[in-house]
Structure 1
Amino acid sequence: MMANKLRKSLDRDEWEITIVDKHRTHYYQPGFLFIPFGIYNKQDVIKPKADFIPPGVKVVFSEVDKVEAEENKVHLADGSVLLYDYLIIATGTETRPDETPGLTDKLWRKEIFDFYTVEGAVELQKFFKQWEGGKLVLAITELPYKCPVAPIEFVCLADAYFTEKGIRDKVDITFVTPLAGAFTKPIATKMLSELLAEKNIKVVPDFYIEKVDNEKKAIVSYDEQEIPFDVLTIVPMNMGNSVIERSGLGDDMNYVPTDKHTLRSEKYENIFVLGDAANLPTSKAGSVAHFAADILFENLMSAIEGRPLMAKFDGHANCYIETGFGKGALIDFNYDTEPLPGTFPLPGIGPFGLLKNTKINHYGKVMFRWMYWHILLRGKELPIDPLMTMAGKKMIK
């Protein structure tokens, strides 16, 4: 996104733009959710990164050893060094199943699966095709994790999948979370909790996983509660990329301390941070990165031109929630305002309903994949303001 935006605006004779990336393949991560249920397959969520890089942008496919911020240097794994005037860090967040004792033991990818990697999602699809029922547990290990609504979507899609297979009465679905409810915000939590109850999905709140017991086939909390499973779908601990740790740029979770409004590093004036790599107090979700990209672009251009950074990001997040049976919900919120009911994006018209379970919201989720490949990655303008608006929202007292 940033390469496309910047290449259109910066003089090619004055500015060289380089992307450093260790992966040649780009993954549409929201699509991983659909793979276990046979809605998507692996080929539906991957494309070559080269398809999205504009002419005039240099690409280096390499691991980064470390960033030497004091010297404005990026050290690559092969020993070569890149110099920069400005650096954008977009190293994201990564699943770390190795951080939870017992998680990657003998049941890993056999009866314990993640769906936050394409490999885990594909293995779970194979398992579900042959599974005849039992205790299905979805468990979240720790906060934060990317795409906060995805676990809710997973259990809803599981409910629909096993209903359509004719074995829902043989499948016990439990949603286990360290949160006090189904979501982080009260109004959305109420709506989503009622939805899960309607689907006969049990919610176990305030459960902090200490370990996975492979012999008992149970997750164990720090206060020694146990929840047995026949198949466990896990949201592993998330951490920032290890290059952030090696570079001394991060906090204890390897996220970069970032000004939540300007998106500039709190320590270095010529480093900006986009997406999950930042320690912003908002969702680690794709929509946040998309909205923040517009603000970061404005502020980076201001920095280059020696102007004060006037653009302010408000933590805007917008998430479609797939709820199964061809329906979906939608939430829209920011740093200061929790998800509220109403219409989106047009007040009173929609067509999407906030905190409503509708077919049109499902179509919004389906259409998003096309928008992602053809609009967002190419740095084109979205027809939605990057800052959240209260228009169309209803306040609840």
Structure 2
Amino acid sequence: MKKIVILGAGTAGTIVANRFKRLLDFNQWQVTLVDPDPVHYYQPGFLFIPFRMYSEKDVIKPKRDFIDPPLRLIQSKVEAIDADHNRVHLADGTNLPYDFLIIATGVDIHPEETPGMLDGEWGKSIHSFYTLPTSQALRDALRTWKGGRLVVNVVDNPIKCPVAPLEFIMLADWYFHQQGVRDRVEIVYATPLSGAFTKPVASKLLGELLDSKNIKVEPDFMIERVEPEAKKIVSYDEREIEYDLLVTIPLNKGADVIGKSGLGNELNLVPVDPHTLRAKAYPNIFVLGDASDAPASKAGATAHFSIDLFTEHFLDYVETGELPPYFDGHANCFIETGFGKGLMIDFNYTQEPLPGRYPLPGIGPLTLLQESEFNHWGKLMFRWMYWHILLRGMELPLPATMSMAGKWKV
């Protein structure tokens, strides 16, 4: 019997396990997931908690709700990965042999990597929204905040959901208008990028949108330290930005066990072939979701599209040992812009986001790089689709590779 071990039962791990459940003959295969946390988090929902649009019950469910026999779920911490001998060592002393290993351990925030960030003001005047506890603390802080300078800072890239900081800024603009205090709030976006986003067309259009909302972008800001007593952040070139409330997206790193096992780079991300997501060092290890160094967007849609293609090719690879390049880095993301509107971007490794319609050319109904109410409702509807369709391994009627149909060249 061939054994597949999946490390991580988050978005990517759960989706691929349930795809295997539909694909494999379990008289010949065994699939085991390993994850220490019994709770599954709908991470896109953390964005809405500070603005009281979602509550905790909207973003958490037991992992076992989505993992049924013949899949096996072991709730344990992974102590080490012995890739040379095809074994995973668990914290309880169990050794799991595998024929194929899928690493889906994701990334997490590391505020301790930025000097000063945790020195006394974390959870007071310094917050984040990338975990459930930090988004709850930020919700409580915003409830009583009377105004001042709000600074949103991305420490470095890559990060989970690269558009989330932009969404937070624009939702904050809406929220302060709703609270009647927008005229008392200055909003600054301090980003290591040279503009509002990574690609020229999207960066220009999104930058104009932020400008229309009176949100200042401070580009090329590489933070070196936080000075919490002085309430300012300082870049490596000694630029200083003062704040009354700092919302940070701390350095994102992969799981410690990846670095400990000698499988990762300096950020504990596993080097992979970006078009097959196979680990460069080991032909029987694949890395799905956020845990690899592939230059694809670290977003749920990326995991979904890549897994669609991975499961199509996996059995052929087992039989022949051949694995053609199948993944083009396709990703799309809703971007909440506030006031009941949103926009969408669709792109891949080589093609930047462009205006247009998605998924049906000329029809949509979703608009690319243009605000619409339908995009906002699409974002909110996605939570139901996530819990009831994607996590259960069902397919959406969307192409996994990117198409230029419906896009307008500018």
What TM-score do you get using the length of structure 2 for normalisation?
A: 0.95
**What is the distance in 2 between the residues matched to 1:41 and 1:311?**
41
Deviation at 1:285, TM superposition (A): 1.1
Deviation at 1:311, TM superposition (A): 5.4
Please tell me whether residue 220 in structure 1 is matched to residue 234 in structure 2.
yes
AA at the equivalent of 2:239: Q
Aligned-partner SS, 1:116: coil
For 2:304, which of 279, 290, 295 is the aligned residue? 290
Structure-2 residue corresponding to 1:197 = 211
Residues 174-185 of structure 1 correspond to what in structure 2 (within 5 A)? Answer: 174-185=188-199
Aligned-partner SS, 2:29: coil
Deviation at 1:383, TM superposition (A): 1.0
For 2:122, which of 103, 108, 111 is the aligned residue? 108
**Contact 1:72–1:83 (8 Å) recurs in 2:** yes
Deviation at 1:177, TM superposition (A): 0.2
**What is the distance in 2 between the residues matched to 1:237 and 1:359?**
33
Please tell me whether residue 211 in structure 1 is matched to residue 220 in structure 2.
no
Please tell me whether residue 5 in structure 1 is matched to residue 19 in structure 2.
yes
Please tell me whether residue 354 in structure 1 is matched to residue 368 in structure 2.
yes
Structure 1 residue runs without a partner (length 5+):
none
**What is the distance in 2 between the residues matched to 1:376 and 1:307?**
29
Deviation at 1:298, TM superposition (A): 2.2
Structure-2 residue corresponding to 1:240 = 254
AA at the equivalent of 1:326: G
AA at the equivalent of 2:275: H
Structure-1 residue corresponding to 2:142 = 128
Deviation at 1:3, TM superposition (A): 0.9
**Contact 1:262–1:299 (8 Å) recurs in 2:** no
**What is the distance in 1 between the residues matched to 2:205 and 2:378?**
19
Deviation at 1:14, TM superposition (A): 1.1
Deviation at 1:253, TM superposition (A): 1.1
Residues 126-205 of structure 1 correspond to what in structure 2 (within 5 A)? Answer: 126-205=140-219
Deviation at 1:272, TM superposition (A): 0.7
Structure-1 residue corresponding to 2:286 = 272
Deviation at 1:307, TM superposition (A): 4.9
Deviation at 1:302, TM superposition (A): 1.8
What TM-score do you get using the length of structure 1 for normalisation?
A: 0.98
**What is the distance in 1 between the residues matched to 2:391 and 2:70?**
16
Please tell me whether residue 23 in structure 1 is matched to residue 37 in structure 2.
yes
For 1:377, which of 364, 386, 391 is the aligned residue? 391
AA at the equivalent of 1:354: L
Per-residue Cα deviation, 1:200-248 (whole angstroms, up to 9, x for no partner): 0011001110000011100011111110111000000011111100111
Aligned-partner SS, 1:323: strand
**What is the distance in 2 between the residues matched to 1:92 and 1:300?**
21
Structure-1 residue corresponding to 2:91 = 77
Identity %: 56
Deviation at 1:291, TM superposition (A): 0.6
Per-residue Cα deviation, 1:51-71 (whole angstroms, up to 9, x for no partner): 111321111000001110010
Structure-2 residue corresponding to 1:47 = 61
Q: Which runs of 4+ in 1 moved over 4 A?
A: none
**What is the distance in 1 between the residues matched to 2:290 and 2:17?**
18
Superposition RMSD in Å: 0.9
Aligned-partner SS, 1:253: coil
Deviation at 1:251, TM superposition (A): 1.0
**What is the distance in 2 between the residues matched to 1:277 and 1:296?**
16
